[in-house]
Amino acid sequence: MVLRKNILITGASSGLGEGMARQFAARGRHLALCARRTERLDELADELRAAYPGITVLTRALDVNDHDRVFTVFEEFRAELGGLDRVVVNAGLGKGQPVGTGRFDANRETLETNLVAAAAQIEAATGIFREQRGGHLAVVSSFSAIRGLPKNVTAYAASKAGISSFVDGTRLELRGRGIAVTELRPGYIESEMTARGGGNLLISSAESGARALVKAIEAEPRRAYVPAWPWVPLTLVMRFIPGRFLRRFV
């Protein structure tokens, strides 16, 4: 397996992004971290540099909905590190509201961030990988990409299904170019996003979830449900459960 030494993570100031940064730092990887909230990002970078003196940790402010800046920041990181071996497209939003309730603004923002902005990040990363003739693209989608969902999750599930299709097409496009492409479909993992949804018996801790994500990314599969238990067997339930029952559990 190729050692991916220089890793870029978007949305790295909290949640899954922060957790993955900690896991990769512990493995001795150099990190390029970006997010909107630079204060939290810089605190994390200082902590990781102190804990692991042998690694480089770079930070940049980035709102992924500023598409031109996505390309600029990725190129700046590439120049400073001397190349990018892996890009983890992680920045996302779970702000949706039930359809037809007057909150199209929230649904539009969710779709724009999780689909259009994610596509911009994929474009920026794969452009660099094409020039380098190698690299690994890992995109954090969601278990909810499997099918359409009601209530507050409609726009979120649609955005994740869309980016899942975009990742599949990207993989086909890059076939034979030495560029690995992985789609990650996490289930419920402790984060600010899942905290807003209330309690859930299936939720994993932030640390165990990040550890499972990084383990899956390092293996570089085409697609991974994370953690594997219980989310792999639940894929069958999600695909075939009648909609009238599904609504009760969302």
Lowest mean pLDDT across 48-52, 151-155, 240-244: 240-244
Determine contact, residues 177/136, Cβ cutoff 8 Å: no
135, 84 contact by CB (below 8 A):
yes
Q: 83 burial class (0-12, 13-18, 19+ CB within 10 angstroms)?
A: middle
The rounded percent of the chain whose pLDDT value lies above 90 is 82
pLDDT at 1 over 90: no
Q: Where are the domains of the chain?
A: 6-249
Residue 199 scores a pLDDT above 80: no
Spatial separation of the C-alpha atoms in residues 93 and 103, rounded to whole Å:
15
Query: What average pLDDT does the structure give for the chain?
Result: 93
Token pair in block for residue 172: 């086909």
- The CATH class of 6-249 is alpha beta
pLDDT at 156: 97
Q: Six-digit token pair at 189? A: 């993992």
Q: Is residue 36 helix, strand or coil? A: coil
pLDDT digits (tens, 9 = 90+) for 111-140: 999 999 999 999 999 999 999 999 999 999
Q: In what order do the strands lie in the sheet with 6-10?
A: 57-61, 30-35, 6-10, 86-89, 135-140, 179-186, 223-226
Q: Average of pLDDT values for 21-40?
A: 97
Q: What is the mean pLDDT of residues 15-22?
A: 97
Mark whether 188 is an active-site residue: no
Write out the DSSP string of 116-184.
IIHHHHHHHHHHHHHHHT-EEEEEE--GGGGS---GGGHHHHHHHHHHHHHHHHHHHHTTTTTEEEEEE
The pLDDT of 174-192, averaged and rounded, is 92
Per-residue model confidence (pLDDT) at position 34: 98
pLDDT of residue 242: 86
Please identify which of the residues 52, 156, 188, 225 carries the catalytic annotation.
156
- Predicted local distance difference test score (pLDDT) of residue 250: 67
- Bridge partners (DSSP) listed for residue 204: 189
pLDDT digits (tens, 9 = 90+) for 86-98: 999 999 998 899 9
In whole angstroms, give the CA distance from residue 76 to residue 3.
22
